[in-house]
């Protein structure tokens, strides 16, 4: 019996005729690129845009755009909108993820059958990154986090991961476009560690790939955003909203769909966006207080604020930063009182005067008031038609 089992085992290990025929048509390598080969120079300069790719169809969801894009950070806020726009033009999108297999599940519906390919990976494993990038001709890095955790620091997430992706893309030899998504206001001299790490990430990417494109969006607004949702939730729960530093800081919030459209527009051009840095801000500049007024007007609540001076706000946020690496359990993620975001909002964050913007990509960004903030109606306590807007000048004494 044991002899029969051994003979069957040896037979199962032999390559079948069908597998041999497949290998003869599609040669397969047992090693990832770059492992046993000399490092390649960047090939981005030899490709001017995506114009020479083989395309089939009329350009819709079931067409073939020729783009095979690996989108790192696709399961995040901006990622879902970018994947949707890539998929609807017939691109294949490789979605690296590191958590549960349910994380990228919502993305699979955005493209035709087999066009959205979730791939589990480890951002600290170079071979894992090479595997998800192996078949791609476009790499887009959306990875970013505005707070630290016990496992990932600002510098690792926003700087070193971006640098690692650029190095691997350079070795790849077949990457035609690399797009790095950074953050408006990033600077090596910023008081915010997040913005300093983002600036270092930009420099590292451009050092490895001078032909890469860098997008620097302002605060993004949309259904899953991490600013107006948090404000509305806090205001509904506690009946007031804390305004740090009086809410006088100027910002230029942008609709998330416009940022995704800008990335796709850069991919579809003739290569004119290669090597450029774009600052993507909305058409209107708000103070933090004015943006909070827009939030209150949309949820139809009477605005109530508590002004918190910067030193007190920093003192409230400080314990988490001090205890983060010292306690043996994970701490809650910060919402309103995030020390690094408090430092970032201490200075105005608007588009520079001579910067390349949406207009240079042929896109007119949406104004926020209206459809882009309509998702906030979910916070109206009596349904979509409940309440009066602030613009109707309701007497606060008559407010329930």
- Identify the pLDDT of residue 393: 44
Flag whether pLDDT at 221 surpasses 70: yes
State the Cα–Cα distance between residues 251 and 288, nearest whole angstrom: 7
Q: What does the pLDDT look like over 250-286, one tens digit per residue? A: 999 999 999 999 999 999 999 999 999 999 999 999 9
DSSP string, 8-21: HHHHHHSPPHHHHH
State the Cα–Cα distance between residues 361 and 268, nearest whole angstrom: 10
Closest CA to 198 of 151, 141, 251: 141
- For the chain, give the mean pLDDT: 86
Flag whether pLDDT at 394 surpasses 50: no
- Identify the pLDDT of residue 7: 47
Flag whether pLDDT at 201 surpasses 70: yes
Q: What does the pLDDT look like over 39-66, one tens digit per residue? A: 445 556 455 555 556 567 667 888 888 8
The pair of structure tokens assigned to 124 is: 């600290």
Delimit the domains of the chain by residue range.
Answer: 137-379
Flag whether pLDDT at 4 surpasses 50: no
Exposure b/e, 48-66, CB count within 10 A at least 16 = b: ebbeeeebeeeeeeebbbb
More confident residue, 79 or 393: 79
- Identify the pLDDT of residue 223: 95
- Average pLDDT for 384-396: 57
Give the C-alpha distances (Å, rounded to integers) separating 47 from 6, 93, 250, 269: 54, 20, 39, 12
Task: Report CA torsion sign: 246, 251, 254, 259.
Answer: negative
Flag whether pLDDT at 351 surpasses 90: yes
**pTM assigned to the model:** 0.84
**Would you say domain 137-379 falls under CATH 3.40.50.720?**
yes
């Amino acid at each position: 019996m044991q002899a029969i089992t051994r003979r069957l085992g040896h037979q199962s290990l032999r390559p079948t005729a069908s597998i041999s025929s497949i290998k003869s048509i599609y040669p397969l390598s047992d090693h990832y690129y770059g492992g046993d080969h000399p490092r390649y120079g960047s090939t981005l300069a030899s490709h001017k845009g995506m114009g020479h790719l083989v395309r089939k169809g009329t350009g819709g969801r079931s067409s073939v755009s020729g783009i095979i894009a690996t989108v790192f950070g696709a399961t995040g806020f901006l990622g879902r909108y970018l994947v949707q726009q890539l998929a609807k033009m017939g691109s294949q999108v490789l979605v690296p993820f590191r958590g549960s297999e349910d994380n990228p599940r919502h993305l699979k519906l955005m493209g035709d059958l087999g066009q959205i390919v979730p791939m589990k990976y480890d951002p600290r494993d170079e071979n894992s990154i090479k595997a998800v990038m192996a078949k791609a001709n476009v790499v887009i890095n959306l990875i970013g986090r505005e707070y630290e955790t016990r496992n990932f620091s600002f510098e690792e997430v926003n700087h070193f991961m971006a640098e690692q992706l650029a190095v691997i893309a350079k070795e790849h030899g077949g990457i035609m476009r690399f797009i790095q998504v950074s953050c408006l206001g990033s600077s090596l001299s910023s008081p915010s560690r997040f913005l300093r790490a983002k600036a270092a990430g930009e420099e590292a990417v451009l050092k490895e790939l001078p032909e890469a494109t860098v997008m620097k969006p302002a605060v993004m607004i949309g259904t899953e955003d991490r600013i107006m949702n948090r404000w509305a939730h806090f205001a509904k729960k506690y009946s007031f909203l804390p305004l740090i530093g009086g809410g006088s800081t100027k910002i230029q919030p942008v609709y998330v769909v416009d940022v995704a459209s800008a990335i796709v527009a850069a991919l579809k051009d003739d290569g004119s966006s290669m090597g450029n840095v774009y600052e993507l801000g909305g058409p209107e500049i708000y103070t933090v207080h004015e943006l909070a007024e827009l939030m209150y007007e949309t949820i139809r609540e009477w605005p109530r604020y508590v002004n918190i001076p910067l030193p007190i706000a920093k003192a409230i946020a400080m314990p988490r930063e001090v205890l983060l690496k010292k306690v043996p359990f994970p701490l809650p993620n910060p919402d309103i009182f995030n020390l690094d975001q408090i430092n970032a909002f201490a200075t105005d964050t608007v588009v520079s005067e001579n910067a390349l913007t949406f207009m240079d990509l042929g896109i007119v960004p949406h104004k926020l008031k209206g459809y882009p903030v309509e998702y906030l109606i979910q916070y109206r306590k009596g349904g979509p038609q409940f309440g009066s807007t602030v613009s109707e000048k309701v007497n606060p004494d008559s407010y329930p």
